[in-house]
Amino acid sequence: MRTANYKETARDILISIKKSSAEEAKNLENNELEFKSSCISSVKMKNELVKSVVGFLNSNDGGLLMVGVSDDANLLGIEKTEEKFSSLDDYEQLVNQHLRSNIRDGAERLRQHIRVFSLNQEGKTVLCVRVNPFVPKNGQIVSFGTYQNPENRGDKREKCYLRTGNHTSELNDVEIASFAVNRMEGEIKNRSEFIKDTQGQNVFTSPNFVLTEVLPDSTSPHGKPALEIKLSDGNKSLSKYRLKKFNNHEQIVKKAYSLIGKEVRTFTWEDKKSEDKKRFEKQGYFENLYPILKDQRFEE
């Protein structure tokens, strides 16, 4: 989901809701899009608002929460689903205030990672909350939100949520510890994919580079047909190669194109046939490449 033109993206989604059949509309929600009929009409809905936003903050790609739309993508409008409010500006302010007070470092997250705005579609107002992913740096931790017990409003607890697929779930203490260790700026973005690909075997991972160019029909240093990627660390440039005979070649080529201009890390297998076990890496080959976690802030 584009972040630079997030309002246009939200408008496009509203148009797609209108054009979709009832069956198609049910499948619009995904890892970057969630619908809620309301968000401040009750303590329960306020908890759901915080849960959704924190889940997006902790996700790899962030997302968009649209309020005034039912779970099955029926456009209702907040005029129908929320309690009366004096003005749209007042309503947006209430949402901002609740997020500021109930998300850890809420003022900073609102300034850097969250934008609240409204759109009107055929006389129905939809509140939109665009959330960019928050990636901690040294000294920071992942995002938490305050849960308030609807039966006892004095009972408040901090919880950590994560958006995966079209669901947002609460992480337990063990999951939080593992998640927090791997979610740091500069770490591999899709850690689970990396673990699955390497299957616990010995591999060598490169430093972080920016991928600048992809040459799908190049030749390796040994004269064999290969994919060549050009990388830069800001001071020097280098090429790495992946032979066309390697498994999943077309998939890796497509992936490389999608990562042009982004920071990546490559890995190679340990060369067990050589006394110098880093020989394969030194020759400039790679098996796969992965995007790196970067904090994505709005311009202040």
Residue 214 lies in a domain: yes
The structural domain count of the chain equals 2
Residue 79 sits in the same domain as residue 153: yes
Residue 274 has pLDDT above 70, yes or no: no
Q: What is the CATH number of the domain that holds 255?
A: 2.40.50
Residue 35 sits in the same domain as residue 91: yes
Q: What is the CATH number of the domain that holds 54?
A: 3.30.950.30
Distance CA 234, CA 268 (A): 22
Q: Range with the lowest mean pLDDT among 16-20, 52-56, 241-245?
A: 16-20
Residue 12, SS3 per DSSP: helix
Could you tell me where the DSSP H helices lie in the chain? 6-19, 22-25, 43-57, 78-81, 88-102, 106-112, 173-182, 191-198, 249-258, 279-282
Q: Residue 199: which pLDDT band, with cuts at 50, 70 and 90?
A: confident
Q: Which two tokens stand for residue 101?
A: 């007070």
Residue 209 has pLDDT above 90, yes or no: yes
Angstrom CA distances, 187 to 16, 200, 287, stand at 35, 18, 18
For 41-73, how does the pLDDT look when each residue is reduced to its tens digit (9 = 90+)? 899 999 999 999 999 999 999 999 999 999 889
Structural domain range at position 199: 191-291
For 163-195, how does the pLDDT look when each residue is reduced to its tens digit (9 = 90+)? 999 999 999 999 999 999 889 988 898 888 888
Residue 250 lies in a domain: yes
Residue 152, SS3 per DSSP: strand
For 253-272, how does the pLDDT look when each residue is reduced to its tens digit (9 = 90+)? 999 999 999 999 998 877 65
Residue 197 sits in the same domain as residue 178: no
Residue 196 sits in the same domain as residue 144: no
Residue 230 sits in the same domain as residue 173: no
Q: Residue 2: which pLDDT band, with cuts at 50, 70 and 90?
A: very low
Percentage of residues in the chain having pLDDT higher than 90: 68
Q: Range with the lowest mean pLDDT among 110-114, 193-197, 208-212?
A: 193-197
Residue 223 sits in the same domain as residue 108: no
Q: Which two tokens stand for residue 100?
A: 């500021």
The pLDDT value recorded for residue 275 is: 55
The pLDDT value recorded for residue 101 is: 97
